[in-house]
Chains A and B, each alone.
Chain A
């Protein structure tokens, strides 16, 4: 077997090994690959950046991702919550995916605890019920999305912790979609589509989305029409948002998505390299086969005729 035919027969286990090495390398060898920030991420960031904390409108975060898609969507949730909490914009969390509540609680607690650990007074702190509320999971999401336009507490009479929703100080100000400045759907399935159909088309609610990379191409047309005010797509989008938070001074370090993007870039380079090697091998062996075939062609044809 010569070199070129070897290129077309690389053992898949060797490829997996290389892939693993390229993923692990950036965690130990520190380097930074510059990220360009895509307009849709910037638009969502700027939308939240331009919100007025005194307007008494909240950001609604629909946390609908699953443990499988955590590496992409969880950094988005942490970044969005950090941004909102640091700007003192109230946040209401809901979920329509059965696997999401645990992850939502983890995200809310992590960000709130981080901010509270350096807070000096009650006004600096993030307090449940005053600054944020997590209403939990609800079945029958289409009916719920429609009903929330009338009254949120009709759909969620109690929050995740079994408190009566109307008894929470934040929920006394937030009745329905009119009191929501933007709803951001962090999803690993087609939930944003239903928000577009029932919450936006019917009630005119502004929407943003944080999606897994697989879903992102499907939602680009909604950005162009303005149906989505912004979008964070995949780990790259999450890393972009982390970068923006760092640039605007909301955090001192970037998060997991930024580190992950270094591995992502290396793996993409590896994949491109392997595609080139495979094609070179294929073209070279094809050329060689053609030559061999040309040499044997007359006798073969003869054989066929006889």
Chain B
């Protein structure tokens, strides 16, 4: 067993969280509230020391007055709480939306739309490469049918009906894969905690 009191504290808090599996209880509630409090405390201190102080207050202290612009823009967010001045919040919001849209729209189109369309197109070279070609055709059909399923401007009749139905199969396969992976992820977290309890705390495993 570990002689480290922090390990014991972590182990007890883990057990408190696990106690929820039996039923809701004050031990679980205590651990939950403690977690939220500690996490918030951590973030406040972290952002002060790692973001605000070195990136804003220290340059300002050194006489870099240009940093007054982001400081004022940031402070303008708080005008939301003063009804008379609340219109001023549009300035930082406008700046953020403009900057955000300008920087992300071209990058999004380039990285996610063009490249994904390129990846879906079946070329003669892929068709000649055996299994890869078959998978490429299947992906192409899957993408078209899935898009048909989400095409709601026209009633799903005739070809569209069969396309949409075939699309559902691909969507379900996608959901199935996501669900399987999600189960695996949650079990992994449980395994991690059990490894901690059996290892660093009880010393039963290495």
- Residue ranges of A at the interface with B (Cβ–Cβ < 8 Å): 12-13, 16, 19-20, 23-24, 27-28, 68-72, 98-99, 136-137, 139, 142, 146, 196-198, 200-202, 212-214, 216-217, 221, 224-227, 233-236, 256, 259-260, 263-264, 267-268, 271
Contact = CB atoms under 8 A, between A and B. Distances in A.
Interface string B174-206: 100110011111011111111100100000110
Nearest to A225: B119
Nearest to B176: A217
Given A23-B191, A98-B46, A201-B110, A214 B198 contact: no
Nearest to A256: B195
B28 to A, nearest CB: 14
A200 B22 contact: no
A291 B144 CA distance: 45
Interface residues of B, number: 41
11 contacts: A23-B191, A24-B194, A27-B204, A27-B205, A28-B205, A71-B193, A197-B111, A200-B111, A214-B182, A260-B188, A264-B187
Interface string B116-128: 1011000000000
Given A201-B111, A225-B118, A23 B139 contact: no
Given A13-B22, A23-B191, A267-B187, A217 B181 contact: yes
B107 A202 contact: yes
Contact of B185 (A23, A70, A214, A224): A214
A98 B46 CA distance: 7
Contacts of A19: 190
- Which applies to chain B's interface (DSSP): helix, strand, loop or mixed? helix
B2 interface: no
Given A13-B21, A139-B50, A20 B188 contact: no
Contact of A98 (B50, B111, B174, B192): B50
A10 to B, nearest CB: 14
B188 A216 contact: no
Given A71-B192, A225-B118, A139 B55 contact: yes
B190 A212 contact: no
B34 interface: no
Interface centre among A28, A72, A99, A225 (most CB of B within 10 A): A225
A213 B47 contact: no
A225 B116 contact: yes
Nearest to A213: B185
B43 A264 contact: no
B115 interface: yes
- Which applies to chain A's interface (DSSP): helix, strand, loop or mixed? helix
Contacts of A136: 50
A264 B188 contact: yes
Interface centre among A16, A146, A201, A256 (most CB of B within 10 A): A201
A13 B181 CA distance: 24
B64 interface: no
A228 to B, nearest CB: 11
Nearest to B50: A137
A141 to B, nearest CB: 11
Closest A-B pairs by Cβ, 7 of them: A71-B192, A225-B119, A213-B185, A197-B107, A139-B51, A201-B111, A235-B188
A68 B17 CA distance: 13
Given A225-B118, A234-B185, A260-B191, A217 B174 contact: yes
B103 interface: yes
Contact of A217 (B50, B118, B177): B177
Nearest to B108: A197
Contacts of A13: 21-22
A234 B107 contact: no
Given A213-B181, A217-B178, A196 B111 contact: yes
A289 to B, nearest CB: 28
Nearest to B109: A201
A169 B55 CA distance: 26
B105 to A, nearest CB: 10
Given A201-B110, A256-B195, A271 B188 contact: no
A136 B181 CA distance: 31
B104 interface: yes
B194 A23 contact: yes
Contacts of A227: 111, 115
A198 B194 CA distance: 39
A189 B10 CA distance: 24
Given A137-B50, A202-B107, A264 B191 contact: yes
